[in-house]
């Protein structure tokens, strides 16, 4: 199949904002009309070309990713490469009747009304299974919560095998659509009883639900469709993150099966708090010791900041022990990107044992204040 720059919408006769259902309906109608073995017109050759064109258009427009690509660029990469790997449309949509039928579930629906015994009605390809999630944890410091941090995580995961595009088949081509389920991975059984028609759907036994039979296993992955890789991902820890929070990094888990998406990476964050700080929401608490004379006469004190460095706090004259001062916007930023919380400073007053010289001066103050002190 050569790369082409056709207008797939025009080929199917649908508008650019046609729904999936519209596209499906248009495709079914055209396939009925143009299938070379059903075509009533004079030129079989033209019918064949037209039929291929219809298939190509449907293959692109019925696939979310390919359709988006086509909408954006007006064409879809190398058709040969998207035939493989996606799991939806294995094999090459060639001209012969059996091959076409094997590849395109929808053709079955059209010609046999979807009621062939043992065959499934489902139009989806083989059951796509999402990859497993991976869990990791990081330890960061309080200053990282204030400033944000990028960490690079490195771990082993399963990636889609490049050699077979995740099909598990040599070269990504040496497989056939499962004849039992016609590639759907499911088998629908219908039986009639006194009460009416019953149907039940179960995974196909012939292909174990994969929808395909591998003729020759991929030598790189041994037929699993994935291989181990050392994966590296740079994770931005958002400012304001709470201790114990979990971040979801989409698509960095293990490879899926049958074209299913990758799982996610979950990173749990532990924040190592310096002993002097305590966090409550976006506010931080710290305590600071000053001398009783400083408390009485007023002072300035250097308060440690969570991001490092200090900020000067003015302690007014006559400050009682355990007074709490609020330093605005020096706490933790809100995780939604809002303003920072506050830094609350609790002042401890150290009195200590006075020297003999201090004692004499304090006795003078005691006289002045008529304080009841021991001699
Ligand atoms: Zn099967
Ligand atoms: Zn492989």
pLDDT in tens, 88-147: 333 333 333 333 333 333 333 333 333 333 333 334 456 678 999 999 999 999 999 999
Least confident span in 69-78, 265-274, 291-300: 69-78
CB of 284 closer than 8 Å to CB of 303: no
Q: Quick one: which ligand is closest to 225's CA?
A: 2
Ligand 2 geometric centre to CA of 178 (Å) = 19
Ligand 2 geometric centre to CA of 222 (Å) = 6
Tokens for 339, please give them: 């303003």
Averaged pLDDT, 182-202 = 80
Which of residues 83 and 292 earns the better pLDDT score? 292
Does pLDDT of 82 surpass 50?
no
Q: Which of 95, 119, 92, 87 is nearest to 106 (CA)?
A: 119
Name the phi and psi angles at 95, rounded to 5.
Answer: -85, -25
Q: Please list the residues that pair with 189 across neighbouring strands.
A: 200
pLDDT tens track for 267-280? 999 999 999 999 99
Q: What does pLDDT average to over the chain?
A: 82
Ligand 1 geometric centre to CA of 219 (Å) = 23
Name the phi and psi angles at 200, rounded to 5.
Answer: -140, 145
pLDDT (0 to 100) of residue 75:
64
Ligand 1 geometric centre to CA of 79 (Å) = 25
- The span from the CA of 33 to the CA of 63, in Å, is 23
pLDDT (0 to 100) of residue 111:
33
Least confident span in 124-138, 176-190, 209-223: 124-138
Does pLDDT of 79 surpass 60?
no
State if pTM tops 0.75.
no
184 band by pLDDT with thresholds 50, 70 and 90: confident
- The span from the CA of 29 to the CA of 196, in Å, is 31
Q: Quick one: which ligand is closest to 181's CA?
A: 1
- The span from the CA of 6 to the CA of 232, in Å, is 39
Ligand 2 geometric centre to CA of 248 (Å) = 28
């Amino acid at each position: 199949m050569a790369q082409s720059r056709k207008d797939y919408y025009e080929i199917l006769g649908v508008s650019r904002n046609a729904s999936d259902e519209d596209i499906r309906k248009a495709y079914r109608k055209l396939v009925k009309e143009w299938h070379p073995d059903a075509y009533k017109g004079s030129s079989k050759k033209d019918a064949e070309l037209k039929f291929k064109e219809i298939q190509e258009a449907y293959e692109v427009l019925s696939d979310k990713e390919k359709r988006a690509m086509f909408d954006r660029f007006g064409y879809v990469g190398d058709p040969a490469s998207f035939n493989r790997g996606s799991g939806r449309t294995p094999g090459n949509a060639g001209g012969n009747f059996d091959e076409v039928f094997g590849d395109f579930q929808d053709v079955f629906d059209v010609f046999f009304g979807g009621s062939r015994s043992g065959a499934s009605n489902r139009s989806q390809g083989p059951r796509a299974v999402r990859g497993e999630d991976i869990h990791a944890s990081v330890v960061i410091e309080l200053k990282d919560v204030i400033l944000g941090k990028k960490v690079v995580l490195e771990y082993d995961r399963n990636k889609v095998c490049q050699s077979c595009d995740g099909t598990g088949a040599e070269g990504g081509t040496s497989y056939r659509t499962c004849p039992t389920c016609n590639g759907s991975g499911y088998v629908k059984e219908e039986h009639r009883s006194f009460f009416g028609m019953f149907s039940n759907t179960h995974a196909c036994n012939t292909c174990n639900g994969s929808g395909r039979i591998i003729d020759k296993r991929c030598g790189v992955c041994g037929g699993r469709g994935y291989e181990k890789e050392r994966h590296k991902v740079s994770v931005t820890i958002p400012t304001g993150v709470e201790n114990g929070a979990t971040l979801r990094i989409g698509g960095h888990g293990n490879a899926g099966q049958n074209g299913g998406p990758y799982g996610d990476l979950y990173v749990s964050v532990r924040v190592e708090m310096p002993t002097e700080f305590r966090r409550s929401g976006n506010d931080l608490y710290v305590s600071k010791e000053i001398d009783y004379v400083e408390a009485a006469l007023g002072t300035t004190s250097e308060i440690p900041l969570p991001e490092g460095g200090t900020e000067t706090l003015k302690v007014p004259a006559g400050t009682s022990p355990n007074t709490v001062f609020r330093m605005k916007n020096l706490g933790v930023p809100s995780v939604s990107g809002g303003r920072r919380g506050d830094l609350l400073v609790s002042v401890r007053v150290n009195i200590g044992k006075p020297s003999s010289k201090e004692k004499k001066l304090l006795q003078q103050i005691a006289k002045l204040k008529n304080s009841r002190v021991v001699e």
